[in-house]
Structure 1
Amino acid sequence: MTNKLRIHQQNLRKSSTATQDLLSNLEHSNTDLILIQEPNTNSNNKIMGFPSSSSMYQANSEIIPKTGIFVNNTSLFTKKIEDFSNSWITTIQIHLQQSPLIVSTVYIEPNSISSIHENLVRNLFKTYENVPLIVSGDFNARHTMWHNRITNKHGEVIYEIMNDFDLYLHNDQRPTCLTINGSSIIDLTLTNHKATPFIRNWNSKSNRQSIFDHALIEFEYISRDEIPQRIFNTTRRFNEGKADWGKFRDSINIEELNLAVRNIEHTQNKNKIEHNITKFTKIIQKAASQSMPIIKRSIYHKRSPWWDNELRCMQIVVQNKRYLFTKEKNLIAKQYLYEEYKHFRNKYIRTIRKKKFQQWKVFLEEINTNNTWGNTHKLIKNKLNPKTHTLPIIEDFPPNEHPKIIENIVNNMFPTHTNSPNIEHSTTQESPEQEYNISKEYIENLISKTSKKAPGSDNVTYTMLKAIREIISEPLAKIFSKCLNIGFFPQQWKKASLIIFPKPNKSDYHLHQNYRPISLLPSIGKLLEKILQIEIQNYLIENNKINPNQHGFTPKKSTITALFAIKNKILSDKQHKMTSLITIDFTGAFDNADWNIILNNMHQLQIPQHLIQMMHSYFHHRTITMKYNKIEYSKVMTKGCPQGSPLSPLLWNILINKLLDSFTITNASIYAYADDITVICSSTDLDGLQSIIIESLDFINNFSHQNNLKINFSKTKILNFHKKSFHQPIIIESNTIEIVNKLKILGVIFENHHLKSKINFTSHINSTVNKAIITKNILISYCKNTFGIDNRKRKNLFKGLIRPMLTYGSEIWFDQINKSQKKKLESIQHQFLRNSAMAFKTVSKSCINCLTKIETLDTYISIKTMKFLHNNNIQRIDTPNLNLFFKELKKSKLSEIFSQTNQNFQSFFINNYVPKFVHTNYFTTQFFTAHGPFAEYFCRMKISNNPFCSCDNLSIQNPSHLLLNCSHYESIKENLSLNHITNLHSFVQTKENFKKFKKLCQHIHDHLRSIEASNNVHPQPPNC
């Protein structure tokens, strides 16, 4: 920790190069704050050029920001003060030990100061007169008081404010703005009497430190006490990306490992078992510490990888050139030096842009890996679902209040159950004899199926366990067998580390209910939980104990089976009755699950006693711990299924199963997906329907009371599939249930349709299309025709990210939507696939589908629906090989599409399909489709009226002529050994030929473009 804040101020003159120059100057300075005026925004409402890993504070409006504060030190506790932040002023608060520090940056345009500016600045100094306040910025204020030659209106206003509030001006005689027309002091640093004593080392670097007009101003704030800092708390301790996995495996002390296991096998003493499990864990931890570095996180911005020694040298040259012209007194010589400076500066700017783009291209394309889910995918996901690492519920308050806040968070999210069962007493009961002898292969298989989840407090990850699964599988099998045989769940595996995430789209993040709690549990313990979950679930499934209307976390069930059942019930009832749908929301469902009731339900379900006994041990003395900085708060849990535990969904299903079994209200049906409860009610008359709805809600509400759950009535909704209104509102316990026009159920939006045989999914389709358009715009910004991931990765990205988004729930809604909506979805797919093929906008859907080898959305959804109906025994397909059946169906559909492609395309692929090895790119796509810089294409698009090639002015210039007959390209064809080819098909007949064909296409394309540029005849053709 430190008591020093390093603060810099810079006017960037809206330049991206100035931004990069500023960051390069600060590379080794560990600056905490940068106060910015005239930032680079690219004419939008966001400041550009600064690393996204740090915080940028700016105005929350549609107006282009003229100021911003960049917090380079990610460990500081900062927040924006909205009342004193707009386009021309940004103000933040920094938490200190004793009082906050207020920092504000200002930009007032020349000759524009008004009472609005003056009143807000005065109000700022008045509001914070009793706390340290720093105001620094470009006021465009000149006054002889601070050594300007003249005084302007801005200077007069600022001078009056300084006198009225007894402010201190830290500027000296050095100019802060240097142009060819002269110098001035217009960038000022003002402090009130509370901040002035703590300002040190104010400096204006106006000589060699910048290549632009405004000087870099720097100063320090020295606090009386150490400045509170945020510590990044994580259970990931080791940098597995830099691990030596061979050394990790070799570092496992097998002798000690086996000794610990033998000690566990030959004892009934639970303390000894705990002790030896701790030894087992420490062996893995020690091996990790010897083979992989500890994760280190810098709190400051690091230099971008494209910044190299060439740029550093150019920067120094430009700075020196600027220094020479600013110091020159002779006007003629000064003008000459200025022009020389401009020449070198522009060259420097061009080089920055070039290197930046090259690095960006390398970062996106990742040509050395075939992994589709690399940087481009991560960027898209982050844009769609931005992650926030801030916790306003804690960080917006002084550090001395943090311990109490954290205690309140834990106690509110995990309240103590006053009527909690005596779990400790239960664990003393002897379980029936049950011998488990888990195999090594079973554990190996279990470990191999794990994902990259965050570890628990022991820092042991699934990745580590996978790396040594051959070594630890047998020992773990023996440990788990012992635990199951004596009904003991080790204490150290019941210690959860709590992390909280802000829920999206909430208005007040100072409320604990607007955060989602996640319990991070030890990875080894979660393997034992998984075994327990499999054992209990297998028993329930084999003995038909789980209600068939529970679709959540149940084998062969999913959100789609739940939606299918709901849809069919609505359509069935809607034909002859008035129908309504209710969605029930429980407040903190998983976190309030009553252990005693779960155990009682397990008894009633006749789950074997040894498994119930194991669950007694599982519940006994579970703890939850929240760490924040150096603060730690723990409590013993008395209820709840920890979100993050493999057992939690099953335990909830056991709890709610009784509701599903006991719900027998006439003309009402209940469906569940975990804690998402849907009830469908129907009646021949309105009063009867209302009566059934109230009866259903009363029944579920009574169940909630009996099971220590609470319905969230504000989120419980009713959707009517009829046009009539109820005579009275539906009220349960003084809560009026809202009746809505549309309702999202498990990700699909339902609405009433005027036809009795239909459900309206228009809102769902519109929502899906809008989300797809947003995704497409993001994708296109990263995947251009001439750079970005290759065709294969783009197709995989479409299949794995985009198409699931477009078709989620299509088994439910596709037969309910109209042709126009289907056409809209096909159009969206075509836009994505066209980007995958890097094709012009004018290329047909048939060519794109064939070139990408991806069927139409209609075909894909039809196959998807057929699979669903077959797998759920609703409509079986009579075939011995289902995969082959669908493969042939897709092939036949693509063959139909192929017949619709143009003659040029068919000339390349005479067998009516595109070979597997053909992965097109920007250049080959133009030749395959005949949509490129060809004279025939320009003529067809009415861009020109001359379709002939310049080689003889007689031949039509199209792909066939250019590739086979044009004399301009004989030499390149000879160099590529393609001069023997006489038909287009031969270019794609073999993989080797296709590689050469790619080079030929690029050569011809570049030559045609160079001719076009030199003639300046044709405008740019339609592009993606």
Structure 2
Amino acid sequence: MQNIPDILALQEPYVFKNRVPFPLSSRMFHSNMLDNVIYCSIIILNKSLIVKKLDNFTNSFATAILIQTKLSSLVFVNIYLHSNIFCDIHQNYFTSILSTYSNLPIIFCGDFNARNPYWNDSTTNRNGYKFKEVITSHNLIVLNDKSKTCRNASIIDLTITNSKAYSYITNWNVTRLTEISDHETINFNISSPNDEFGRHYIKSTWKFVENNMQNFVDNINPDKIQELNLLINNCHDSFDIDLVISKLSKIYIEAAYLSLPVRKSSSFPKKFSWWTPNLEAQKRHFHYIKNLYYRRDPRVSEDEYKIIRNNYTRSIRLAKRESFRSFLEDAESNTHYGNTFKLIKSLLNKVNNQIPMIDQVSTSSKPVVMNQMLNALFPDDVTSNDNMVARNIRNHHFNFNNLISTTSANFNYGDFSIWKTLTNGCPQGGALSPLLWIILLNNLLVSYNIPNSKIVAFADDITIICWASSIIELTGKIKTCIEYVENWCDNRKLSINHSKTNILYLFNNSKPIINLNNGTSIHPCDTMKILGLTFGNHRHRNKLNFTPHILNTTNKIQRISNILFALIGNTWGISHKKRVNLYKGMIRPAIMYGYQIWGDKLIVKTKNKLNSIQHHILLKSIYAYQTVSCNIVCILNNVEKLTDYIDSSLITYKIQDKAVRKIVMALRKKHSINNYFNHVNDNFKSFFPTSHIPYFFKPNFFNVQFITGHGLFMSYLHRINVKPSPACECGHSYQDPSHILFNCSLHRQFQHNISSPSEFMLNKCNLSLFNNFCKGYIISHY
């Protein structure tokens, strides 16, 4: 069929697992089962039709639906009657439905197994005789012509309407669409010049929320409505009515824009953008074979069906994979990082925007639940370490009295909004909360005068540094400092959170527990984190141990790297340049945080760990094997080792002039890369006589194997114990990239008039020949 039908009426349909095998997107209405058999069904393929099943008139031999039109409705009934069984039950059914919906157009269609010359058949049977009485008694109209509908011998498939539906039927015809049925296919159009079918309108400009409807009504301009009433009284024809409707629609639209939230168009790409015409053709062929197989057609075997099914599912997976890789590569974009960076950020910063206890309640109860939650977050009477009473601020003679007494908290969820006036304390997370806290804390910082100690304040906590000549004197000093802070807090109705209070001893002897007068104890810890830097005690008295910070950082970067490795591959993913930019702009700054403090305190083990994590990321940037040396990786990426970069940053970060700092960093980088070049293998030097890499050279999975010598070559595979011999298939005793490029007789037709590997890097033309050769060789040997 050229055009997909809107409605299918099936009799004696094939049923698989109590269901007619049609796509799940279609709506299906079945007759009631008789002896576990469905005898008729109606399939709605047009999703926009508004259809309702008539349960009172759906039984074992009939399926009835009501199709909504703009002006009224239409009743559509699909019938299947067994041969010679027409009785009072069937006659009463037709009488009942015709009387119930006497004012609506009604269409009957189906396999009646009824023969009668009244509809141009050659003979009469019991069903035909009885059904003829129904037709004449209710003034029904038979639309069949002389076309045979079954086995080219009889007319038992009928289309019948009442007088109101007769004008709805056009283009009635009989065709042969399938060879697996004894019956012909009957097609017809349902339409009316005075009416049309209602449609589902899913999309809307506004979000219609129950709580906003009163606001919508209030924004309707009463003056314009009054003018419209005067205009209605003067209507004389249809044009005047259309004008009134247009003006009324405009009034409603203006009110909607003033009161209702507008739907935002999705920023995501079109759904199923990976779907192609080739997949559509495969889908149709698969469903055709699937239907034949489920009907046990001898033309389709089980093996053939599985092969076609597996090919179809494999094609879908490949199409999705290619579409996702194209999205990640973002080849048409000129951004530095591409969509891979956005995806990594979204995976690292997952935020749950759902509140289950609100989602589970009814719409009318949501404001009540939100108000209860807001009162729980900001109670009117509570004592906590974050609480700050208003009178403590007033003592400083700042004009905050009005601010504190009028502060409110707002809770928004979806289209609901709840406000609460704060009667106690300063809200945590408020815009002025840090400033108010500093004003309150300033008194502690100014009044603190305990000898051999120093107090340091941060945004929301304080740190006290103590020193003494003995452990006993030190523990006493610590207790004195803590008690001083506790007394200051008690005078302002604050309290110290002892569970968050830590003590770090910077000596190697036994570390005592501090027992306070109020009965609480503070235990010593091995590490402490201040402003994102984790450190501990070092075995040397004049040093701090920053190894915990390096371990925490590498664990965090390892998680980012794992996500990155899942989004890039050797033959797909973002380009080499974007991979390096991603490392320089996202990963390396995260590693370098606070390097001015810990950069010169690294031990050999932590240096190796930092260089290792950079090496594994940059390996992916040049699509290289894991065994490629760190020196080659740094040269091809034009990135110095992480420890060398830290040393250069330590030397230059105190230089105020940015231009001078940039020059010094560039000179040190050049010196480091020249030093790396002195320690690379001879194969790499044969392609690049100096450490300078031409700007037009772009590493890829194929050419990097030849340049590094680490790839599908017998010499390399023998070295890592994969192959028993380094000999080439041509008979030469040693197969390396140079032999394949210039001397191997098996690849003579691909070799060019170039005498040395370095000539491939002289210009873009030679490099293109080299890339094509590398790709052809690797693909043929993979």
Smaller-chain TM-score bracket: 0.5 to 0.7
**AA paired with 1:959?**
P
Deviations for 1:447-481, whole angstroms, at most 9, x for unmatched residues?
Answer: xxxxxxxxxxxxxxxxxxxxxxxxxxxxxxxxxxx
Which residue of structure 1 lines up, in the alignment, with residue 777 of structure 2? Answer: 1008
Which residue of structure 2 lines up, in the alignment, with residue 153 of structure 1? Answer: none
**AA paired with 1:841?**
Q
**AA paired with 1:929?**
T
Which residue of structure 2 lines up, in the alignment, with residue 320 of structure 1? Answer: 288
Deviations for 1:646-688, whole angstroms, at most 9, x for unmatched residues?
Answer: x665554444344333332212222233224222222222332
Distance 2:295 2:473 in 1: 92
Distance 2:512 2:732 in 1: 82
Specify whether residues 920 and 676 from structure 1 end up closer, same or farther in structure 2 by C-alpha distance, changes over 3 A only.
Answer: farther
Deviation of the 1:388 alpha carbon: 1.8
Deviation of the 1:848 alpha carbon: 0.5
Aligned with 1:750: secondary structure?
strand
Does structure 1 residue 410 correspond to structure 2 residue 374?
yes
Structural RMSD (CA):
4.2
Does structure 1 residue 787 correspond to structure 2 residue 572?
yes
| Residue correspondence of structure 1 range 672-821 to structure 2 within 5 A | 672-706=457-491, 709-723=494-508, 729-731=514-516, 733-821=518-606
Deviations for 1:487-535, whole angstroms, at most 9, x for unmatched residues?
Answer: xxxxxxxxxxxxxxxxxxxxxxxxxxxxxxxxxxxxxxxxxxxxxxxxx
Specify whether residues 337 and 826 from structure 1 end up closer, same or farther in structure 2 by C-alpha distance, changes over 3 A only.
Answer: same
User: Are the counterparts in 2 of residues 324 and 337 from structure 1 also a CA contact under 8 Å?
Assistant: no
Which residue of structure 1 lines up, in the alignment, with residue 341 of structure 2? Answer: 377
Deviation of the 1:863 alpha carbon: 2.3
Question: Which entry has the higher C-alpha Rg, 1 or 2?
Answer: 2
1:934 to 710, 713, 720: 713
Deviation of the 1:634 alpha carbon: 0.7
Aligned with 1:881: secondary structure?
helix
Distance 1:733 1:25 in 2: 73
Deviation of the 1:896 alpha carbon: 0.9
1:959 to 708, 729, 737: 737
Specify whether residues 785 and 706 from structure 1 end up closer, same or farther in structure 2 by C-alpha distance, changes over 3 A only.
Answer: farther
User: Are the counterparts in 2 of residues 704 and 710 from structure 1 also a CA contact under 8 Å?
Assistant: yes
**AA paired with 1:381?**
K
Which residue of structure 2 lines up, in the alignment, with residue 987 of structure 1? Answer: 760
Specify whether residues 754 and 25 from structure 1 end up closer, same or farther in structure 2 by C-alpha distance, changes over 3 A only.
Answer: farther
1:839 to 624, 630, 648: 624
Deviations for 1:927-969, whole angstroms, at most 9, x for unmatched residues?
Answer: 321222234333444433555666x655954334545566777
1:367 to 331, 337, 352: 331
User: Are the counterparts in 1 of residues 649 and 665 from structure 2 also a CA contact under 8 Å?
Assistant: no
Distance 2:292 2:403 in 1: 76
Deviations for 1:15-60, whole angstroms, at most 9, x for unmatched residues?
Answer: xxxxxxxxx956688xxxxxxxxxxxxxxxxxxxxxxxxxxxxxxx
Which residue of structure 1 lines up, in the alignment, with residue 179 of structure 2? Answer: none
Structure 2 alignment gaps of length 5 or more: 1-21, 28-206, 212-254
Specify whether residues 416 and 817 from structure 1 end up closer, same or farther in structure 2 by C-alpha distance, changes over 3 A only.
Answer: same
Aligned with 1:855: secondary structure?
coil
User: Are the counterparts in 1 of residues 504 and 524 from structure 2 also a CA contact under 8 Å?
Assistant: yes
Aligned with 1:678: secondary structure?
strand
Which residue of structure 2 lines up, in the alignment, with residue 305 of structure 1? Answer: 273
Distance 1:727 1:953 in 2: 75
Aligned with 1:722: secondary structure?
coil
Aligned with 1:922: secondary structure?
coil
| Residue correspondence of structure 1 range 66-465 to structure 2 within 5 A | 294-296=263-265, 303-328=271-296, 333=298, 336-392=300-356, 394-395=358-359, 402-415=366-379
Aligned with 2:351: secondary structure?
coil
Aligned with 1:823: secondary structure?
helix
Does structure 1 residue 631 correspond to structure 2 residue 400?
no
Specify whether residues 326 and 25 from structure 1 end up closer, same or farther in structure 2 by C-alpha distance, changes over 3 A only.
Answer: closer
Specify whether residues 401 and 681 from structure 1 end up closer, same or farther in structure 2 by C-alpha distance, changes over 3 A only.
Answer: farther
**AA paired with 2:690?**
N
Specify whether residues 1010 and 816 from structure 1 end up closer, same or farther in structure 2 by C-alpha distance, changes over 3 A only.
Answer: closer
**AA paired with 1:984?**
P
Specify whether residues 698 and 795 from structure 1 end up closer, same or farther in structure 2 by C-alpha distance, changes over 3 A only.
Answer: same
**AA paired with 1:675?**
D
User: Are the counterparts in 1 of residues 358 and 366 from structure 2 also a CA contact under 8 Å?
Assistant: yes
Which residue of structure 2 lines up, in the alignment, with residue 886 of structure 1? Answer: 665
Specify whether residues 685 and 925 from structure 1 end up closer, same or farther in structure 2 by C-alpha distance, changes over 3 A only.
Answer: same
Which residue of structure 2 lines up, in the alignment, with residue 89 of structure 1? Answer: none
Specify whether residues 405 and 738 from structure 1 end up closer, same or farther in structure 2 by C-alpha distance, changes over 3 A only.
Answer: farther
Specify whether residues 765 and 982 from structure 1 end up closer, same or farther in structure 2 by C-alpha distance, changes over 3 A only.
Answer: same
Aligned with 2:375: secondary structure?
helix
User: Are the counterparts in 1 of residues 329 and 338 from structure 2 also a CA contact under 8 Å?
Assistant: no
User: Are the counterparts in 2 of residues 969 and 1004 from structure 1 also a CA contact under 8 Å?
Assistant: no
Distance 1:230 1:972 in 2: 68
Deviation of the 1:596 alpha carbon: 6.9
User: Are the counterparts in 2 of residues 687 and 726 from structure 1 also a CA contact under 8 Å?
Assistant: no
Structure 1 alignment gaps of length 5 or more: 1-23, 30-228, 234-285, 420-585, 604-611, 872-876, 974-978, 1014-1024
Deviation of the 1:736 alpha carbon: 3.3
User: Are the counterparts in 2 of residues 795 and 836 from structure 1 also a CA contact under 8 Å?
Assistant: yes
Distance 2:489 2:208 in 1: 41
Does structure 1 residue 921 correspond to structure 2 residue 695?
no
**AA paired with 2:419?**
S
**AA paired with 2:716?**
Y
Aligned with 2:301: secondary structure?
helix
**AA paired with 2:373?**
I
Distance 1:594 1:800 in 2: 45
Distance 1:893 1:862 in 2: 11
User: Are the counterparts in 1 of residues 702 and 778 from structure 2 also a CA contact under 8 Å?
Assistant: no
User: Are the counterparts in 2 of residues 717 and 739 from structure 1 also a CA contact under 8 Å?
Assistant: yes
**AA paired with 2:626?**
K
Distance 1:797 1:921 in 2: 17
Distance 1:958 1:937 in 2: 8
Q: How many residues align?
A: 535
Specify whether residues 986 and 599 from structure 1 end up closer, same or farther in structure 2 by C-alpha distance, changes over 3 A only.
Answer: farther
Distance 2:741 2:388 in 1: 71
Deviation of the 1:789 alpha carbon: 1.1
Deviations for 1:562-606, whole angstroms, at most 9, x for unmatched residues?
Answer: xxxxxxxxxxxxxxxxxxxxxxxx944xxx5667766876x7xxx
**AA paired with 1:1012?**
H
1:862 to 638, 642, 647: 647
Aligned with 2:524: secondary structure?
strand
**AA paired with 1:321?**
I
User: Are the counterparts in 2 of residues 834 and 840 from structure 1 also a CA contact under 8 Å?
Assistant: yes
Specify whether residues 932 and 880 from structure 1 end up closer, same or farther in structure 2 by C-alpha distance, changes over 3 A only.
Answer: closer
Distance 1:839 1:384 in 2: 26
Distance 2:449 2:600 in 1: 31
User: Are the counterparts in 2 of residues 641 and 652 from structure 1 also a CA contact under 8 Å?
Assistant: no
Which residue of structure 2 lines up, in the alignment, with residue 910 of structure 1? Answer: 689
Give the TM-score of the pair, scaled to structure 1. Answer: 0.47
Specify whether residues 306 and 965 from structure 1 end up closer, same or farther in structure 2 by C-alpha distance, changes over 3 A only.
Answer: same
User: Are the counterparts in 1 of residues 475 and 514 from structure 2 also a CA contact under 8 Å?
Assistant: no
Higher RCO structure, 1 or 2 (CA under 8 Å, sep 6+): 1
User: Are the counterparts in 2 of residues 829 and 857 from structure 1 also a CA contact under 8 Å?
Assistant: yes
Deviations for 1:106-162, whole angstroms, at most 9, x for unmatched residues?
Answer: xxxxxxxxxxxxxxxxxxxxxxxxxxxxxxxxxxxxxxxxxxxxxxxxxxxxxxxxx
User: Higher mean Cα deviation, 810-819 or 952-961?
Assistant: 952-961
User: Are the counterparts in 1 of residues 393 and 440 from structure 2 also a CA contact under 8 Å?
Assistant: yes
Which residue of structure 2 lines up, in the alignment, with residue 640 of structure 1? Answer: 426
Aligned with 2:574: secondary structure?
coil
Aligned with 1:901: secondary structure?
coil
Aligned with 1:635: secondary structure?
strand
Q: Percent identity?
A: 32
User: Are the counterparts in 2 of residues 935 and 958 from structure 1 also a CA contact under 8 Å?
Assistant: yes
Aligned with 2:569: secondary structure?
coil
Specify whether residues 339 and 636 from structure 1 end up closer, same or farther in structure 2 by C-alpha distance, changes over 3 A only.
Answer: same
